[in-house]
């Protein structure tokens, strides 16, 4: 099975992890700090905190931004559940804003959703392609909202030549196994705001501050959301290779763009992306006459050993959210879910594998019935 995304672990990654396992500290040591410093340097951001997942980093971000009971945060329904789930954990509610053709939040619809309860805009860089940062910054400034970016897909991506991570008030990255770089499980929170950084750091580790000698104080309620030293070792090693991973993904994506150009079955998002993407996903968007056959297409692709997936079922369609928010439907998010399939695109592939995938995919569509 060729998965839609996967990790590439090489000799030097394994050596780095073994070395960390043989060291005296398995947690709370120097490697975690080194990884954070390397992230700051690579991204050009003031503060970085690594976490045991992006989910816990999102939680810490919302808490640091004081998102609380009775607050609302405007976000995209085309995301992984964690973006919205962590709002619920803070006692706040997500307000879902419809998307554009590229899967990202439609910045033009945001203002109409703002109420006195709105505290933040939480955008998602779908597939690794930046949202329209400038528009969102302007809306946040005008309405005194906090801009949080769930950039779980987009470490290494750029918006107008500026790296993702420097643009929102707080940016979250994921190092889950199949994200652009990995620590197995893991995530990071980055910010230029020292207050957000200090608050998130307390939440990461029990709200504890050191006083002198054995004396500590707890000044906030917190968790253990820490990353281990051997995960940080893997992160340091992976971060060195991020640019080369992104280059391979971009080559595969460009190959697909050409191979699929002008086909009658689906269009692809990559060639029209306005910003430098990571290609965490390579989405194909089925023509409407194929929507009713999506199950058959999906099964046939799996049969051909293509580990495809659909990103994402709109979060408001989950039963939990229906209970909390009532039935709702956003037309573009609905149609995107009906049309989207993510096909294999990752750093373990070469152009020969991309060629085989493209041929298999086109062949599957040749044998599928249309329904209009």
Which residues would be at the binding site for ligand PLP (CB under 6 A)? 53-55, 79-80, 82-83, 124, 150, 152-153, 174, 176, 187
Query: Of 196, 211, 237, 205, whose CA–CA distance to 28 is shortest?
Result: 205
> What is the pairing mode between strands 158-159 and 146-150?
unpaired
Taking the least distance from each CB to ligand PLP, the nearer of 171 and 300 is 171
> What sections of the chain are H helices per DSSP?
11-21, 30-43, 54-64, 82-89, 107-110, 133-143, 194-204, 229-260, 294-303, 319-325, 331-339, 351-366
Phi–psi pair at 371, nearest 5 degrees: -125, 5
The nearest distance, CB 57 to ligand PLP, in angstroms, is: 8
Beta bridge partners of 149: 123, 171
The nearest distance, CB 238 to ligand PLP, in angstroms, is: 14
Residue 309 DSSP label: B
Taking the least distance from each CB to ligand PLP, the nearer of 125 and 300 is 125
Taking the least distance from each CB to ligand PLP, the nearer of 300 and 333 is 333
Taking the least distance from each CB to ligand PLP, the nearer of 172 and 202 is 172
Angle, nearest 10°, between helix axes 194-204 and 54-64?
130
The nearest distance, CB 187 to ligand PLP, in angstroms, is: 5
Task: Give the dihedral sign, CA 195/64/209/38.
Answer: negative
Angle, nearest 10°, between helix axes 229-260 and 11-21?
160
The nearest distance, CB 53 to ligand PLP, in angstroms, is: 3
The nearest distance, CB 332 to ligand PLP, in angstroms, is: 18
Count the Cβ atoms, other than its own, within 10 Å of residue 89: 15
Taking the least distance from each CB to ligand PLP, the nearer of 99 and 124 is 124
The nearest distance, CB 125 to ligand PLP, in angstroms, is: 8
Residue 250 CA to chain centroid, in angstroms?
17
Give the C-alpha separation, 177 to 186, whole Å.
9
Taking the least distance from each CB to ligand PLP, the nearer of 187 and 344 is 187
Give the C-alpha separation, 58 to 52, whole Å.
11
Taking the least distance from each CB to ligand PLP, the nearer of 139 and 172 is 172
The nearest distance, CB 172 to ligand PLP, in angstroms, is: 7
Count the Cβ atoms, other than its own, within 10 Å of residue 260: 20
The nearest distance, CB 121 to ligand PLP, in angstroms, is: 15
Taking the least distance from each CB to ligand PLP, the nearer of 54 and 330 is 54
Taking the least distance from each CB to ligand PLP, the nearer of 173 and 266 is 173
Give the C-alpha separation, 96 to 146, whole Å.
16
Give the C-alpha separation, 222 to 208, whole Å.
8
Give ∠ CA 172-162-63 in degrees, rounded to 5: 25
The nearest distance, CB 77 to ligand PLP, in angstroms, is: 12
C-beta of residue 19 within 8 angstroms of C-beta of residue 155:
no
């Amino acid at each position: 099975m060729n998965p839609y995304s996967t990790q590439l672990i090489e000799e030097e990654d394994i050596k780095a992890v073994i070395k960390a396992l043989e060291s005296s500290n398995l947690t709370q040591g120097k490697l975690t700090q080194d990884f954070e410093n390397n992230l700051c340097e690579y991204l050009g951001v003031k503060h970085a905190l690594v976490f045991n997942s992006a989910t816990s980093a999102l939680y810490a971000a919302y808490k640091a931004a004081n998102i609380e009971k009775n607050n609302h945060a405007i976000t995209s329904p085309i995301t992984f559940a964690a973006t919205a789930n962590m709002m619920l954990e803070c006692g706040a509610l997500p307000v879902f804003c419809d998307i554009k053709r590229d899967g990202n939040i439609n910045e033009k619809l945001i203002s109409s959703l703002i109420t006195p309860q709105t505290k933040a805009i939480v955008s998602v860089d779908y597939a690794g392609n930046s949202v329209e940062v400038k528009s969102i910054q302007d809306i946040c400034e005008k309405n005194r909202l906090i801009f949080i970016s769930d950039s779980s897909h987009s470490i290494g991506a750029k918006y107008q030549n500026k790296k993702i991570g420097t643009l929102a008030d707080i940016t979250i990255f994921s190092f889950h196994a199949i994200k652009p770089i990995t620590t197995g499980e893991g995530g990071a929170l980055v910010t230029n705001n020292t207050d957000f950084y200090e608050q998130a750091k307390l939440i990461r580790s029990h709200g504890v501050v050191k006083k002198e000698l054995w004396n500590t104080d707890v000044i906030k309620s917190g968790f253990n959301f820490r990353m281990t030293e051997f995960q940080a070792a893997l992160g340091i090693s992976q971060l060195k290779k991020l640019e080369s991973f992104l280059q391979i993904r971009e080559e595969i994506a460009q190959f697909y763009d050409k191979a699929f150009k002008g086909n009658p079955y689906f269009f692809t998002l990559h060639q029209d992306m306005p910003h430098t993407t990571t290609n965490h996903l390579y989405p194909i968007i089925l023509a409407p006459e194929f929507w009713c056959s999506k199950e058959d297409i999906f099964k046939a692709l799996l049969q051909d050993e293509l580990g495809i997936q659909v990103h994402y079922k709109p979060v408001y369609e989950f039963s939990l959210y229906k209970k909390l928010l009532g039935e709702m439907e956003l037309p573009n998010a609905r149609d995107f879910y009906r049309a989207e399939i993510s096909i294999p695109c990752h750093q373990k592939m070469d152009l020969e594998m991309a060629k085989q995938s493209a041929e298999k995919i086109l062949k599957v569509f040749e044998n599928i019935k249309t329904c209009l």
